[in-house]
Structure 1
Amino acid sequence: MLRSIIVLSLLGVVSLSCERSKGVKETSNEDSTAMMPESDKRLLFVGTYTEKEDHVDGKGEGIYVYTMDKNTGKLSQVSINRGIKNPSYLTIHNNGKYVYAVSETMGTDSLPQGDVYAYEFTTDSTLREINHVPSEGGAPCFISIDPSGNYALVANYADGVITLLGIDDNGALSQKMFVKHSGKGLTSRQQSAHAHSVWPTKSGYVYAVDLGIDKIIPYKLDEGKDTLEATGRDTELRPGSGPRHLAFHPSKKVAYVVNELKGTVTTLDILDNGELRPFQTLSAVEDTTMVDAGSADIHITPNGRFLYVSNRGKFNNLAMFRVNSETGELTLIGHQTTKGDGPRNFVIDPAGKFLLVANQNTGNVITYEIDDVTGKLIDIGVESEIPTPVCLKFMP
């Protein structure tokens, strides 16, 4: 499969403001941690869909801010930022002062692009918009911050575009450049490139995961030039896999990619030259004949002992894996229901005690406790109602 990369320098672009979208607020456990000491709380940011789209009936109001009780896993709503459409993915700056969100929209026929928003997290636990800029591609679905804190990277699903944005000392965003993938894959969902996530690393390599062309594409981030340079060492996954998100082992040179279409997870060695080399692929779903299994998210515990994958569609569960302490290879433990429909995203708290999963279509977030011996997820009876939740991010 041939792939060409078009690198386009960005000129000045005028940002367009987004109108407030409508939604219905639903939440549980409100104010239950109001009297708790701050040391017993952990901040959680929730991205939602606010609009009715072909693939989702968005009922959210924007970006929700919650606190989580570190002892019980219960959530309490703090605030809502309503000035953004479809904030389907969020990331938090390394300094904890700024929050960034994609606005997963398609723009217009003549200018098919979404937007990226920068916010300051204020002392009253609300989000103050700093600025917003075009994403340079349609349906931006993922955003990350590089380790230096000087750049944000965005994956635009609709047209396979990866965008590099600068971050100034005040948290504001500015355009730097973008790269556009091309090619196609095996299935009906792979008629063109579809960048689904982008992952900067401390080594300076940036990994773009493209569902449409079954590839993980490594770039080198050149801070002197504000550019992404292709290395030519792409990882080609099995045809029809549909790679979506990555997880990195906390102490080994090993990464894991969840393959949405095949419902598999592939383990990869991280080489010194930035190449990701596959050496194991396991099914994350019970039915291995699926063409579009709907696997979505992947995370590893902070201690590197257990890894989890969310599966949507007919499954609506979390696959649980044990990680080999020597090789990083995976062994399936079992599956845990998510008690809802459409677990697009989940998060493990920084202490490794709780896993929270967001069920997009049923509007609920379920908190599980992680058994630190077996890795199994324990249902502790904690559920929070949040309309169309699709991204969960803890404050570092």
Structure 2
Amino acid sequence: MNRHHLGWIIALTALFSLPVPVQAQVGGKVRVYFGTFSSDLSSGIYLSTLDLERGTLTPAELAVEAASPSFLAIHPTNKFLYAVSEITTSEGKGERGVGAFLIEPNTGRLTLLNQQPSTGAGPCHLVVDGVGKNVLVANYGGGSVAVLPIRDDGHLSPASSSIQHQGKSVNPERQEAPHAHSINVDRASKFAFAADLGLDKILIYQFDSANGKLTPNNPPAGVVAPGSGPRHFAFHPTGRYAFVNNELNSTVTSFAYDPAHGSLTAIQTTSTVPQPIPNNYTAETVAHPSGKFVYVSNRGHDSLAIFGVDEKTGRLTALGHQPTGGNTPRNFNIDPSGRYILAANQDTNNVVVFRIDSQTGLLSPTGSSITVGRPVCVRFMPLGQ
């Protein structure tokens, strides 16, 4: 063998020994989990695969049986999944509060590890902190938030911190008491943010991840207009801005975020519908990975509102609306590549795939729609992990 041939062999050996991205290994596909409300068509958490080339979903399969596992959160290691059981028990302190599940790497099937009380009635939303040490949960019915530490084996420990919200706002039917509707953490996992529909506030907490503790921050909250009903909260990819959809008055508010002090300063509030729509309620807010767009779902108008983001100011510009191909889009999500939105239509039991135009942010159906009974959460995970 001459030196020329030997050089080529060495080069090819080095090339094929390089790490291959997970998506390339599996042909450009990602795993998708769907949280649901229990019904005749749904009995737990469901699983599908999104083809990133074609924009198609495989038929949904049951990943594990569970009682109304509405909202889901995946651990940063992709080894564990956590779900709230959005059911009514005595003071929300029954065994079905938050469940921990082991993810089988090859199939994506789930095995229950354990459950812990959420320390409040009606758990409705949860996240895992950035370092994978804690689950933070929001209790809508009880108007409270809590932290559940994660053990090394993925099991949940009892709550290490729990805070009861206090007060009310102007809508006597929906804001007669606190209703914590979501909880999020910033990129540094230093602060936590609880959007409370009943208080018209995004309550801000200093977050000690190492000890699983929440402490009221100063300033204590970001504030929206009375009667707005803030629901779900999302950071801009730069971490400089945040956005919350207001369920009761069909608006979205953008905030400037100060990561040093955890403060939120309102910039702008704008409508999510083209004209007033009776009985329309917003549900979810998601910022595009590029930072160029923000999307909000409308239940009633049954659409995704599309906004452009001015990255210098954080202001939003309405770009249009996309019908979701079903009724009551309670949740939707953008795949990690930023190419597709999956809209989960709760009352028509379907999930519809839309392709995102990377230049305009506008959406177009790919033609793929699958049946999922009462879908209320969409979460992505790389295949092969």
TM-score normalised by length of structure 1: 0.85
Aligned to 2:56: 74
User: Of the candidates 178, 187, 190, which is equivalent to residue 162 of structure 2?
Assistant: 178
Offset at residue 288 of structure 1 (A): 3.8
1:167 maps to 150
Could you report, residue by residue, the CA deviation over 1:374-395 in whole angstroms, capped at 9, with x for unpaired residues? 1110122111111111100001
CA distance in 2, matches of 1:281, 1:326: 17
Alignment of 1:21-32 (within 5 A): none
* Contact 1:106/1:113 (<8 A) preserved: no
| Residues in 1 aligned to 2:117 and 2:63: alpha-carbon distance in whole angstroms | 19
In 1, are the aligned partners of 2:243 and 2:253 still within 8 Å (CA)? yes
Q: 1:88 aligns to what? A: 70
Alignment partner of 1:385 out of 371, 377, 384? 371
Residue 237 (structure 2) pairs with residue 255 (structure 1): no
Q: How many residues align?
A: 353
- Change in Cα spacing, 1:185 to 1:113, as seen in structure 2 (3 Å) is farther
* Runs of 4 or more consecutive aligned structure 1 residues displaced over 2 Å after TM superposition: 108-114, 223-226, 286-290
Q: Distance in 2 between matches of 1:194 and 1:380?
A: 37
After TM superposition, list the pairs within 5 Å mapping 1:168-247 onto structure 2. Answer: 168-175=151-158, 176-187=160-171, 188-203=173-188, 204-233=190-219, 234-247=221-234
Q: CA shift at 1:61, angstroms?
A: 1.6
CA contact (8 A) 1:114 1:139 kept: no
1:314-349 C-alpha deviation (Å, 9 max, x unpaired): x01110111113222110001111111100000101
Q: What percentage of aligned pairs have identical amino acids?
A: 39
Superposition deviation, residue 114 in structure 1: 4.6
Letter in 1 for 2:187: K
Q: Any stretches of 5+ residues in structure 1 without a counterpart?
A: 1-35, 52-57
Higher CA-based Rg: 2
Cα distance in structure 2, aligned partners of 1:139 and 1:214: 19
> Counterpart of 1:317?
303
2:113 paired with 1:130: yes
* CA-to-aligned-CA distance 1:69-125 (integer Å, 9 cap, x gap): 111121114641343110110010001111110000111369578511111111332
Residue in 1 that maps onto 2:322: 336
The 1-side partners of 2:355 and 2:210 are apart by 44
Q: Render the CA deviation track for 1:187-206: whole Å, top value 9, x for unaligned.
A: 12111100000001233000
- Paired residue for 1:142, among 110, 125, 130? 125
Distance between the aligned counterparts of 2:92 and 2:181, measured in 1? Answer: 23
Q: Does 1:295 align with 2:278?
A: no
Counterparts of 1:163 and 1:323, CA distance in 2: 32
Name the SS of the counterpart of 2:157 in structure 1: strand
Q: Describe the superposition over 1:332-367 as per-residue Cα deviations: whole angstroms up to 9, x where unpaired.
A: 001111111100000101111001100000001110
Greater helix share, structure number: 2
Give 2:103's aligned residue. Answer: 121
The CA distance in 2 between the partners of 1:283 and 1:134, in whole Å, is: 37
1:40 aligns with 2:31: no
8 Å Cα contact 2:60-2:371 kept in structure 1: no
1:388 is aligned with what amino acid?
A: R
Once residues 92 and 101 of structure 2 are traced to their aligned partners in structure 1, the CA distance between those partners, rounded to angstroms, is 28
Q: Do residues 60 (structure 1) and 42 (structure 2) align? A: yes
Question: Is residue 260 of structure 2 the alignment partner of residue 278 of structure 1?
Answer: no
Task: Read off the aligned partner of 1:277 and give its amino acid letter.
Answer: T
| Separation in 1, partners of 2:114, 2:217 | 32
CA–CA distance in 2 between the matches of 1:110 and 1:64? Answer: 24
